[in-house]
Amino acid sequence: MVQTENNGSKMLVQTASEFYEKEKAAQKETNGFISATDFESSSCVDVTDVFLTFSKDLPLGALCIANGFSLIDAMSAVELMDPKMDLGMKPMDETLGLKYAVEKNKFNERIFTTQEMIAIFDASLACIASSIDGSYFDQTIYTNICVHDPEIIKDENLRILSKAFLTFTRTIRYLVDLAGISFEEDYNYQCLRDQQSLKCNNIEVINELKSIYQKFSKFQPGAPEYSYGQRIKFLFNLFEALHCMIASPEIMSVDSTLSFEVNFKQAEALMEQAIKVFQTVKDTIKHGLQPDDGNDNNYSWLSVFQPDVNRHLFAASFPKEARLMSRKEGYEFLEKTLTFLKKFTIELPNNVKGVGNLMKYVREISSLGADIFVRSTLGLMVFPYNDQVFGKISISDLITNSMQITVAPFILNKEFNFSDEVNQEWQIFLKDASGFFIDLIQAFGMNLVRQREKIGQFMEEATSMYLKAEAIDRKIAEYLYVKPKHAECINRKPYPISTFLANHFMELMSYYIELGFKLELFVDHELPYIYWYLGEVISLWRHRFWMKAKEYIDMEKSFKPPDQLQKKFEKKKIQRDAVVMRNIIEIDKNIMKVRLMAAFCQVYFCVSAARVCSGNLVIPENEQMRYSSRFEAFCHVPSFASQSYVNYVRDSEFSKFIVNPASVCYQKAAEAAKLCVDILNMLIQLFPDSPEIKVKLDVAKRNRIACNLLSSKPEIFDSFHFEKDYLHPLIVIKSQTHK
């Protein structure tokens, strides 16, 4: 704020103060409000020139001296200057809307040709795509006035189509609201035009759409009527598929006794039909009516679209003009959505071998950029209600399956008889674990920013589950220890359940850091301790836990339960050995992946040290505070996984690294890069078709070459290039030109 002696400025400030005093007095008389009617009927006056005249001599900060001026006034002024806010200055037009048009006989249904019906269909789908992408429903699909109240439309064709779009919109809102993973940055849930999201009867609409399709199915390809018929077919195919994938509102009502299971086989067939028809729909936009200027804009060139019809229903803020997708953009957006839905019907049944498989799948879908409708649908397919995966598999079964194939605890072996007390403790633990994993899987359906935020909150709960796992391990050990001939069991497999939980929360910690890279949260001078923590703490402990799991599983081949007959044990040897070997192979794959992560981290840690040595990178003095902030989420994890900045400085020996010549650090990085290449060559034999491994192998090979070159010429380092792999950047060197 600047105090000035300029007389003109003083006068302006005084005038501003007097204005605020008068306005304050006026507000007291009117309780501080102006009626909407008065605002709509008042004439708008352009005060730009007047403002510029009075403020041309106003020095910087002088207006802030005026009594009553606050930061919110400045913020509001800046926002109002945005052209998109001009929509709020338009008076309300009460002649808009379907009801007014019908009452005044201005709605002539007979003028709609097939070409216009095609355009209305395409524009409506584009509006729905815009809604899924984040725009208000009131500003998108509900600008089609036919959707407001389809029942008052006399023409059967237009009425059923409008009813179908109303149902589709309500279905989307129902799914997103029920899934509970949306946030304001994903989706604008508010819809004041229609608030009956739970009253969507898809079966009724499906039958009505089929009746229309029968009339248009007789036309040949190329005719506009055929193209319109294909649009109707696509819509009812999609409705039928969603009906097989998601529990209806009737099933989800509080007093309902109906059950639901996801019908993957039928859903896949229906999605196959829908996508096939969709290609025809997408390719025949040209058969519909076209705007004169070739620009779809807000679709006001179609008689049923009135962009300002719901302006008085907008949220309690200054109205903003929506950004609507064009018909082509809408179909491109929906094509991705349909591809995801088809993907679920094929892949989801194959990803329930264990709880880890299911979590990884849901996580991958979110990382692929799925929209909120897709992610909500996936969440409701996985958990239609309660803890039943797909409506038929208990989540506790997935947890025990995962335990059986990774650590095989004695509590799951039928040859061991435990007391009622131990079994009761086990069931309590399993119930707690089920709730934890359900919350975790649902969180993985959120957008990546919210996922990371949620995982940070989950760390304390994950640690609590780990401690509960240790407690149940001790309970089982105490029971077996006093039982005759069972003491050897404890020596062979002391902590299987806590090993299982530890592996999961260490993976959660790893994913938390990976999300930081994916969201581009880290800067270069943070990379040394980020990669150190990921490689030398998290990956190291994950490697230890996987090795321990391998020991536990391998023991199953030779260890006979004390109460089991030798003959019975030998009889099942071949079958048991086959299962054990299959599980060990999967564990070995995970061990190699963890080793690969550690090796990659070593490369980037050494390169970061070399950059400091060569003066290419400067570490700020307050790095300890930044370190504490970055790993604040890990403050509740067990002590072996939580490392302070002091521990980092001591254990990483970064200070010793940076006193070496840069060439030495680059040489160590080259050795680590060679290890990456060796591990990836082994992995590619196990996963020959994996594009992810091929990309990593290419990065590792190029990084090895770069590090070898840098070991002799450290000055040619240019940057880290994260485009190919957000976690494993390419080391870029400066191009060498010969003079």
**Residue 329 lies inside a defined structural domain of this protein:** no
Q: Which of 581, 576, 579, 599 is nearest to 683 (CA)?
A: 599
Amino acid (one-letter) located at 373: F
Cα–Cα distances in angstroms (integers) from residue 684 to residues 600, 632, 650, 688, 689, in the given order: 16, 36, 36, 5, 8
What interhelical angle do 156-179 and 114-132 show, nearest 10? 10
- C-alpha span between 616 and 673 (Å, rounded): 21
Residues 315 and 361 in one domain: no
Distance of CA 66 to the CA centre of its chain: 46
**Residue found under tokens 């009812």:** 236
Confidence of residue 535 (pLDDT cuts 50, 70, 90): very high
Pick the last residue of a domain from 35, 51, 81: 81
Identify the pLDDT of residue 43: 60
| Count of structural domains within the chain | 3
Same domain for 48 and 124? no
Q: Which pLDDT value is given to residue 679?
A: 96
Give domain status of residue 427, yes or no. Answer: yes
Per-residue confidence (pLDDT) for residue 455, from 0 to 100: 94
**pTM tops 0.75:** yes
- Residue 469 domain flag: yes
pLDDT tens digit sequence for 395-437: 999 999 999 999 999 899 888 888 999 999 999 999 999 999 9
Q: Is the pLDDT of residue 96 over 90?
A: no
d(CA 130, CA 322): 9
User: Is residue 490 a part of any domain in this protein?
Assistant: yes
pLDDT bracket for residue 33 (50, 70, 90): very low
Instruction: Flag whether 609 is in a domain.
Output: no
Q: Read off the pLDDT of residues 583-609 as tens digits, 9 standing for 90 and up.
A: 999 999 999 999 999 999 999 999 999
- Same-domain status, 385 and 439: yes
Same-domain pairing of 75 and 112? no
Of 521, 540, 560, which residue is a domain's last? Answer: 521
Q: Are 355 and 222 in contact (CB under 8 A)?
A: no
Q: Is residue 559, in this structure, part of any structural domain at all?
A: no
- pLDDT-derived band at 322 (thresholds 50, 70, 90) equals confident
Whole-number pLDDT of residue 319: 55
Same domain as 120, residue 199:
yes
Q: How confident is the model at residue 321 (pLDDT cuts 50, 70, 90)?
A: low
Q: Output the pLDDT for position 315.
A: 54
Cα dihedral 189, 190, 194, 199, rounded to 10, equals 40
Q: DSSP secondary structure string, 526-553?
A: GHHHHHHIIIIIIHHHHHHHHHHHHHHH
Secondary structure of 478-530 in HEC code, one letter for each residue: HHHHCCCCCHHHHHHCCCHHHHHHHHHHHHHHHHHHHHHHHCCCCCHHHHHHH
Question: Are 140 and 42 in a shared domain?
Answer: no
Residues 279 and 384 in one domain: no
- What b/e sequence results for 451-481 when a residue is b if at least 16 CB atoms lie within 10 Å of its CB, and e otherwise? bbbbbeebbebbbebbebbbebbebbbebbe
For residue 458, the enclosing domain spans 352-521
| Pair 191, 280 in one domain | yes
49 & 119 share domain? no
Per-residue pLDDT of 159-214, as tens digits, reads 999 999 999 999 999 999 999 999 988 887 777 667 665 555 688 899 999 999 99
- The Cα–Cα gap between 592 and 106 comes to 71
Judge if 241 and 303 occupy the same domain. yes
Bigger pLDDT: 308 vs 299: 299
Residue 731 lies in a domain: no
Give mean pLDDT, residues 484-511: 88
* CB contact at 8 A, 250 and 256: yes
pLDDT at residue 34 in the model = 44
Pair 273, 126 in one domain: yes
Whole-number pLDDT of residue 69: 76
Last residue of a domain, one of 492, 521, 550: 521
- pLDDT of 663 reads 92
Which pLDDT value is given to residue 723?
76
Split at pLDDT 50, 70, 90, the class of 84 is: low
Does residue 440 form part of some domain? Answer: yes
Q: Is the Cβ–Cβ distance between 546 and 594 less than 8 Å?
A: yes
Degrees (nearest 5) of the Cα angle 26, 29, 35? 85
Residue 71 and residue 120 share a domain: no
pLDDT at 193: 66
